[in-house]
Amino acid sequence: MTFQGSPIAQPGKIVAVHLSYRSRAEQRGRVPSHPSYFFKPASSLSSSGDELERPAGTELLAFEGEVALIIGTRARRVTPEQGWAAVGGVTAANDFGVYDLRTADNGSNVRSKGGDGFTPIGPIVLPANGLDPDALRVRTWLNGELVQDDTTAGLLFPFGQIIADLSQLMTLEPGDVILTGTPAGSSVTVPGDTVEVEVDAPGAPGSPSTGRLITTITEGTEPFADFGTKPSVDDKQREEAWGSAEAAGLGSEHPFELTAELKSKISSVGTATLSSQLRKRGLNNVSIDGLSSTRPDARLVGRARTLRYIPNREDLFASHGGGYNAQKRAFDALGPGDVLVMEARGERGTGTVGDILALRAQVRGAAGIVTDGGVRDLAAVAALDIPTYHSGGHPAVLGRRHIPWDVDVTVACGGTSVQPGDVVVGDADGLIVIPPSLVEEVVADAIEQEREETFIAEQVANGEGVDGLYPMNAAWTERYQAWLAEQS
């Protein structure tokens, strides 16, 4: 690896940015308001052409093509406008990580991203002088197929801002490396694969390029010992590593599309009718009970995202209650049409959401919030457009009774089970959960049921008795068919 003809010294530190490209953030379903970081050890560095072992017993070794910044001059407390001036060179990097070890890391990335050879960079470092930091391109190829292609124009946080932010607390020294995040397209690699990353400046004179950073994946043979946490994976980690449920071979998270037309059909019928149709199919335990709505006049239709709270235990709250905890991650991950359903065990003695997070859900385009726990700042939450179903107001923070524990798992709320992707429907009568596989047929039959009930109500209003009419016998069914013909 060369920099103006000279080799690069081993850096004092490698700092990596979590989410920085809009394409990646949108793929993950959360757009951060500020950059966040983690460290990688200098021993993780490797060069183009080196092999990288996928550790024995692991499944999810993911690649992330990135732009690496090489600090050229000492930087401490610089401004975003001054940040780029501290960069001496730019090169390609691949921020490899093993998702099987994320649980063991508890968010630190020490083991999952700190292994030997997990940070190949190179092969050529481009002098930063003369480069436009907003016009660099990063591309990644997996076995010759282009899988990542984005430019720094898509960054959420410009390079100058990242450098300024880091320099508030630490001195950036010459030779330090900053990995600036990866765009959408990161996925899993397996033994035998070849991954190539290139950074270039196609608009600059001569179209300077780092050349392709080449890494070949091999299979590790040394198993993990019993004295440390061993690799483990679940479907959530598979989906994040591969980039989507479909790519991971798990099928679609939502096996049907909740289109605007389907939403309109669902909104045209009441939860009472939907409940009746579900009962006909043997589903009686599909109502979320005991909750009140801040907007009883508003219809709620959306797909469930879930958040689970566990009972507060002081040591567990210390490790899971602060920082960017599961509650904050759940609200940041909401997208248009999502309904966040929270399991709070029916515990009303503290809040599970307040005005700031409810506003965050509304800004993200979520359709609603459902909790079988309490709500803080109830008046402010009720003033928002987004409907929130809850068990009552309470002034206390969640740490009094709850720990936010995990997201997008099956939860129990208001006496029923809710899974991510279930369709949640709410009105003044309450809340109904519909399995996605049944939505279209349940809604079609509910629309027909309400047509029949409209006809029956007209007959009752005209003085007819209900015997034989409700439900309709053969004679009334014939008259109903004639009535339908007149309506068309």
Binding residues for substrate: 354-357, 376
> How long is the chain?
488
124 close to 211: Cβ distance less than 8 angstroms: yes
Please list, in sequence order, all residues whose beta carbon lies within 8 angstroms of the beta carbon of residue 408, skipping any fewer than 6 positions away: 236, 305, 306, 333, 420
Q: How many CB atoms lie within 10 A of CB 110?
A: 16
Show binding-site residues: 354-357, 376-377
Pairing relation of β-strands 177-179 and 14-17? Answer: parallel
User: What sign has the CA pseudo-torsion 275, 278, 284, 290?
Assistant: negative
Q: How many CB atoms lie within 10 A of CB 264?
A: 10
> How far is residue 430's CA from residue 427's CA, in Å, rounded to a whole number?
5
Q: How many CB atoms lie within 10 A of CB 161?
A: 19
Helix axes 439-461, 474-487, angle to 10 degrees: 100
Show binding-site residues for Mg(2+): 377
Q: H/E/C letters for each residue in 379-433? A: HHHHCCCCCEEECCECCCCHHHCEEEEEECCCEEECCEEECCCCEEEEECCEEEE
What residue type is 114 in one-letter code? G
299 close to 429: Cβ distance less than 8 angstroms: no
